[in-house]
Structures are given as C-alpha cells and as structure tokens.
Chains A and B, each alone.
Chain A
Amino acid sequence: MSFPEPISPRSPRFLVGVVILLVLALVPQISDAIGESYYVTIVTRILIFGLAASSLNLILGYGGLVSFGHALYLGIGAYAVGLLSFYGVSNGWIHLAATVGLCAIVSLLTGLVCMRTSGMGFIMITLAFAQMFFFLGVSLKQYGGDDGLKISSRSNFEPLFSIEGNTGLYYFSLILTLGVLYLTWRFVNARFGRVLRGSKSNIQRLKVLGFPILRFQVLTYVISGCVCGVAGLLLGNFTKFASPAYMYWTVSGDLIVMVILGGIATVMGPLVGAAVYVVLETILSSYTQHWMVILGPMILVIALTATRGVWGLFPRGEAPNWEKRTP
C-alpha cells in the first residue's frame, strides 16, 4: 500500500476512472435526452463539492493535517462573488482574482498560526478561524447577515464563455475540477508532494533530513485554501447566493466525510466521495429529513473496512515500474 497510488492502465480502477470521465463529459446531453435537466444541477453540485473536497484532501489526505475549517474558503469564494456583484462588479475574472487573492491572504495568515500546533490543536484552531468568519458573515447586516446575500447574476466571463446557463456553469465546473485533479496528481508525485507525504508519515525524521517542513505545510495549506475558494466561487454562482451557512462548521465536517468516504490520499477519491454523498443526500432526504441516520452507519462501515474509501475498493492492479535503470 505505497501511496502515490501508482496505477496500471489495465486495472479496474483505471477503467472506472475513464468511464466516470466519459459520463461526466456527457451529463448535459444525457439529461437532455431523458428530459431531466435536474440531473445537470445535481452533478454540478457534485463537481463543486468534489473540488472543495479535493482541496481538503491535499492538506488532510496527503499532509495528514486535519483542517476542520475548510468551509471558510467556500464562504470566501461565495462572498467574493456576492459582494463584488452587490457593488456592480460582474466581471468573472475579477471575481476569480479576488477569490484567489483573498483566500491566499487569509490562508497564509491563519496557516502561519495553525501550523504552530498539531493534532487536536490544529483541528480546533482551524475550526475556530472558520467559526470567526461565520459570525463575521452573520453580523454583516447590510449584506443580508444571517439570511445571506442574493446574487442577481452569475460571474460574467463573456465574451470568452458564459456560465449564466446551467450547462455553461456545468462545463466550467467540470473543467476546473478535472484540471485541479490533474494538477493534484502531478503535485503529489512531484518533489513537493513527496515531502508532503513524508511529513504525514514521519515529520521528525523529515526535519532531521534537512527539510524546513513548516514552509511546505503552510504553502500546501495556502494552495488548498485557494482551490477551495474557487469551489466557493462556483458554489456562489451555482446557488446565486452567498450565505454564512456555507462557512458553518458542519460544512467543514461534510467535506471531511467526503474525503474519507471517497478515499483519503487518492486523487479521484474526494470527487467519488462527493458523488456518493450528494447522491445519497438527494435520494435519502426525499424519504426522511433524518437521512444522516442512514449515512452515518455507511461512513462507519467504509471507515472500518476500506482504508482508501469507495475509490480504494477498485483494484488498481500491478503498478508499472517507472524507475530509470541505473548502470
């Protein structure tokens, strides 16, 4: 179980991955064909939370640091869209730049504080920061406070493309999410990622080997926060709404559940986890509002039986040997 998840192109896991990608590419066409445009919005939701969970996976799965406040960055992204729109700035690129900029600043400052702690301290302090921003959102009465802020129109990326329609937003979310998954795969297998994975495994040894590990952890946290912010930007556009509820601690908890459910420290896991979560939520909540009663035991079973979640259930086969032969 070595973990840059080397994978054989003939393994079930690889084939399932290809099928997932093909289906994702055709979701709008499929839901058109069966006349249920509703499916597009469900899968968009999956993509957005998959993106957010992927960002969390970077620091939680590969870095071994349990951030219990990642919803904070979802909120920053949504509010960046909301507040800029409120003041008449509808340009999507400005929204994107503001989101990434704000998330970078907030994650750098909070990261420098959080990384001084570890274990339970880290969990609590990330939670505390997220809750601070939650209450900040609640207290901003002029921007809706508790009730949130309505976003009149989605971020404007015209003339290049438009996300005003649901199909446009779907493909925008799809490209961003798949792009991030690819970058994650490159990242965790590159030198930086190896250091990060090492820090999860044996941080003391890593320091003595000669790595200023705090820098690597803070940088990862910043990258993670910025990516999650982009998910927040998508969420704001998707719901046309920015609400303090996006930053509530239960949302951070949901993201952790998605990562563990799908497969911690795997590239595809968080997206799979988000899919399982959103689909179950959609189906089960139509029967009962206490749908967590059913999800809870499922999480328990996955956590106890499959260390790499649902995604880990698909065998990855014998990994190809990449090592360059040395003379």
Chain B
Amino acid sequence: MGETHAVTQNILSTHGLTKRFGGLLVSDAVDLEVRTGELHSIIGPNGAGKTTLINQLTGEIVPDGGKIEFDGTDITTMPSYKRSLLGLARTYQITSIFHEFSALENVALAAQAHSGHSYGVWRPASRDPALNEPSHRALEQVGLVAKRHVVAGELSHGEHRQLELAMGLVTEPKVLLLDEPMAGMGRVESAFLSKLLASLKGRYTIVLIEHDMDVVFALADRITVLVYGKAIACGVPSEIRASLEVKRAYLGERYAAG
C-alpha cells in the first residue's frame, strides 16, 4: 500500500501557472502534475509554451502568477541554484554547455555543485576522484566516455546532446527535465538516445518535451498536451491518442486515423 502511495504522489506540480510575454499569454493557468517515478511527456505544437514552462520550473523565467511545488516545497520564487540543489536538473533544447571545458570537466562541474562546497582554492579539481568518478560513470552511461578529454566545443551536435544528458544525470536528480533531447539528431543517435531514455525510465522522474511522437507514445507514462499556453489534456498515452480535442489541436490526420 505504501508503494501505491509513493507512486501517486506528485513530486512536481504547478497550479494556475501564468506567464505573459507582452500581450502574448505563453502559460495560461497551467496545472501540471508530475508523479514520483513517472516519465511525463509534454507535447504540443511549436510555440505552445513548452520551453517557457520548463524555464519557469527551473527558475530561469519568473511566472506572473500561480504556484510551483517541488517535493513538498513551494519553489515559485526560489532562485535557480537552490532548485538545482533540491534535485531539479535540466537539459536545454539549444545546447548549453561550457565550450572551453573538456567533456569530463563539463560533467565534473555539474557534479561539483552537488558534492561538498566549491570554495576550495588549493586542491586541483581535475584530480578530485569525488568529482571524476561519478562524471566518468555518467559519461559512460550516455556513451561519451571515449571522448571525455575532448574540448566540448569540438564535439558534434549529437555528442552535445549526450553531454547535456550526462550533466543532468551526474547529480542523480529527483526530477530530470529534458527539453527536446533529440532535436537535430541523426537516426542512429536518436535510436541510441531513445534506448537510453527507456533505460532511465523508472530510475528517475523525467519530464520530457519531445517532438518525435513515436518516442513519446512508446516511453511516456502520462502525457500533458499544451496548446497556446493552455494544458488542454493530460492522461495516459491511450487516452491522449483517443482524445478528439487533442487530435484536432495537434496530432493531425495520422494519429486521428489510428
């Protein structure tokens, strides 16, 4: 029974989250409920406000109204770095890494935020096993360990996506927010990544924004559909697939027919 309780508990939720950019309503009273342990996908056409929603969850954009709760804490006005320390990690749709650092140092810097303090001025960080070992593991997990000494700026686009994921994983977050992790990836890389996501599923609570509907419907436990800043539907994949409203608004003929 205890387990059922844990599964249905919301680790991350928003209540009436609202954000305007000038006259444009990008988050229209969004109620999002992410349960502990699930892979929750957010889908919606371009410009639906998916990334803006993520940015509000991480504190990079301040909402105009509403509330965000994470792990029982109201984090609506909490600065980004504190949310991260509570266990909220993200990746970016447009790669955001440290281009001058090696792949390993990128991940180690992410690890450093969660490992002891960072005011050390004497011992070389590059030789700190408390940082290198988890970073090494995370790079192994995403299949980038062979390129750990390559300067990040010289990695390919697909490798940047892998690196971002490793930077998210290394801190073992309570919730991992993935903003289009497959954007711009080739077929082989995408297949690798979707297999990787499948292996992460169940071990982490994941919020996944993704345009590849095959991946979303294969992996997601639940799906929230966002259209013009409004969450128009939320449910398990079969419900979303069946919903007329969603078909009309978003999925188009292909899924409407199926």
Interface residues of A (CB under 8 A from B): 1-4, 183, 186-187, 189-195, 197-198, 201-202, 204-213, 216, 219, 321-324, 326
Provide the residues of chain A in CB contact with B125, threshold 8 Å: 189-191, 193-194
Interface hits, B86-109 → A, CB 8 Å = 90, 92, 96-102, 104-105, 108-109
B9 in the interface, Cβ–Cβ < 8 Å? no
Task: Report Cα–Cα, A205/B113, bound state, in Å.
Answer: 12
Provide the residues of chain B in CB contact with A198, threshold 8 Å: 98, 101, 109
Task: Report Cα–Cα, A235/B149, bound state, in Å.
Answer: 43
Task: Report Cα–Cα, A304/B98, bound state, in Å.
Answer: 24
Fill in one digit per residue for B103-122: 1 if any A CB lies within 8 Å of its CB, else 0: 01100111011100111111
Smallest distance from the beta carbon of A202 to chain B beta carbons, Å?
A: 5
Provide the residues of chain A in CB contact with B97, threshold 8 Å: 202, 205
Smallest distance from the beta carbon of B92 to chain A beta carbons, Å?
A: 8
If A191-B128, A195-B118 are given as contacts, then 12 extra A-B residue pairs at C-beta distance below 8 Å, sorted by A number, are A190-B125, A192-B119, A194-B105, A194-B112, A194-B125, A198-B98, A198-B101, A201-B100, A208-B59, A208-B60, A210-B82, A212-B82
- Across the A-B interface, how many residue pairs have beta carbons closer than 8 Å? 120
Known contacts being A1-B151, A194-B112, A202-B97, is A211 close to B118, with CB within 8 Å?
Answer: yes
Known contacts being A207-B81, A208-B84, is A190 close to B109, with CB within 8 Å?
Answer: no
User: In chain A, what residue has the closest Cβ to B111?
Assistant: A209
Task: Report Cα–Cα, A207/B84, bound state, in Å.
Answer: 8
B58 in the interface, Cβ–Cβ < 8 Å? yes
Task: Report Cα–Cα, A1/B121, bound state, in Å.
Answer: 23
Provide the residues of chain A in CB contact with B151, threshold 8 Å: 1-2
B101 to A326, Cβ gap below 8 A?
Answer: no
Smallest distance from the beta carbon of A250 to chain B beta carbons, Å?
A: 31
B79 in the interface, Cβ–Cβ < 8 Å? yes
Smallest distance from the beta carbon of B135 to chain A beta carbons, Å?
A: 9
A322 to B126, Cβ gap below 8 A?
Answer: yes
Task: Report Cα–Cα, A322/B105, bound state, in Å.
Answer: 12
Provide the residues of chain B in CB contact with A4, threshold 8 Å: 126
B118 to A216, Cβ gap below 8 A?
Answer: yes
The one of B85, B99, B132 that contacts A201, using a Cβ cutoff of 8 Å: B99
Number of interface residues of B (CB under 8 A): 48
Q: Can you name 15 A-B residue pairings with CB atoms under 8 Å?
A: A189-B125, A191-B119, A191-B121, A191-B123, A192-B120, A194-B112, A202-B97, A205-B96, A205-B97, A207-B60, A322-B124, A323-B149, A324-B127, A324-B129, A326-B129
B67 in the interface, Cβ–Cβ < 8 Å? no
Interface residues of B (CB under 8 A from A): 58-60, 79-82, 84-85, 90, 92, 96-102, 104-105, 108-110, 112-114, 117-129, 132-133, 136-137, 148-149, 151, 167, 171
Task: Report Cα–Cα, A208/B78, bound state, in Å.
Answer: 12
Main secondary structure of the interface of A (DSSP, over half): helix
User: In chain B, what residue has the closest Cβ to A324?
Assistant: B129
Task: Report Cα–Cα, A212/B80, bound state, in Å.
Answer: 9
Task: Report Cα–Cα, A189/B131, bound state, in Å.
Answer: 14
B81 to A190, Cβ gap below 8 A?
Answer: no
B113 to A201, Cβ gap below 8 A?
Answer: no
The one of B84, B99, B126, B127 that contacts A209, using a Cβ cutoff of 8 Å: B84
Smallest distance from the beta carbon of A211 to chain B beta carbons, Å?
A: 6
Smallest distance from the beta carbon of A8 to chain B beta carbons, Å?
A: 15
Provide the residues of chain A in CB contact with B110, threshold 8 Å: 209
Provide the residues of chain A in CB contact with B119, threshold 8 Å: 191-192, 219
Task: Report Cα–Cα, A322/B104, bound state, in Å.
Answer: 12
B123 to A197, Cβ gap below 8 A?
Answer: no
Task: Report Cα–Cα, A80/B209, bound state, in Å.
Answer: 59
The one of B82, B127, B133 that contacts A326, using a Cβ cutoff of 8 Å: B133
Task: Report Cα–Cα, A207/B79, bound state, in Å.
Answer: 9
User: In chain A, what residue has the closest Cβ to B85?
Assistant: A210
Provide the residues of chain A in CB contact with B81, threshold 8 Å: 207-213
